[in-house]
Chain A
Amino acid sequence: GESVGLHLPTLSVQEGDNSIINCAYSNSASDYFIWYKQESGKGPQFIIDIRSNMDKRQGQRVTVLLNKTVKHLSLQIAATQPGDSAVYFCAENIDGVGGSYIPTFGRGTSLIVHP
């Protein structure tokens, strides 16, 4: 079956560096993607989303890039801070019953920020 996956399970960076977390998806019909951040002991939290009619979307210190040709997403975090240490998930949103999207999560990438 089709699924969402991640290239790197763990990413270690120095504080102040930029971080790039990658995600590959295989369902060509997917047209909506969300990045979530999960801190230790907590549930995932929404960071940023992007629809397939966009190539790039920016938030506060975060940018998501979408390459539909190779079915690839990336999350860029500028000037990474210790508080950014967490597991990051990309979620592929699949059209569910009733017209709402149902998210399917990849396994996640652990980001470790060293002071």
Chain B
Amino acid sequence: DAGVIQSPRHEVTEMGQEVTLRCKPISGHDYLFWYRQTMMRGLELLIYFNNNVPIDDSGMPEDRFSAKMPNASFSTLKIQPSEPRDSAVYFCASKQRHNEKLFFGSGTQLSVL
């Protein structure tokens, strides 16, 4: 398996633009997580899904952020409109139901100018 795949690796955009981050979890994994990493706050859990259903989105900073998981092999995190303070590395991770080990993707480095 290729592991968790995220795209794009880098995204540079202007304030106000829509940004869509993509994730393909490891096949057979039941859980998918979206994290945001910054120097100030470290790794913050934004939202997680179980069997494609959003379970806890309390970490989503505001209504500008939304996440979907239309099927077991694909998830998106969308920011609309984007702001400079959204600049961070966004990670997707997945795991199996009874295995607590998280597998992370390589992340998307987002820069909002």
Contact = CB atoms under 8 A, between A and B. Distances in A.
Given A43-B91, A93-B100, A105 B55 contact: no
A39 to B, nearest CB: 10
Q: Give the secondary structure class of B's interface.
A: strand
A43 B50 CA distance: 21
A98 B50 contact: yes
Majority-rule SS of A interface residues: strand
Contacts of A103: 45, 100, 102
A34 B93 contact: no
Q: Interface range on chain A: under 10, 10 to 19, 20 to 34, or 35 or more?
A: 20 to 34
A97 B56 contact: yes
Given A98-B50, A98-B55, A100-B100, A43 B45 contact: no
Interface stretch (A16-24, A44-52, A58-66): A44-52
A102 B104 contact: no
A43 B55 contact: no
A25 interface: no
Contacts of B103: 46
Given A43-B107, A49-B101, 12 more contacts: A43-B4, A96-B55, A97-B56, A98-B50, A100-B95, A100-B97, A100-B98, A100-B100, A102-B56, A103-B100, A105-B43, A106-B42
- The 3 A-B pairs at the shortest CB distance, nearest first, are namely A43-B104, A107-B42, A105-B43
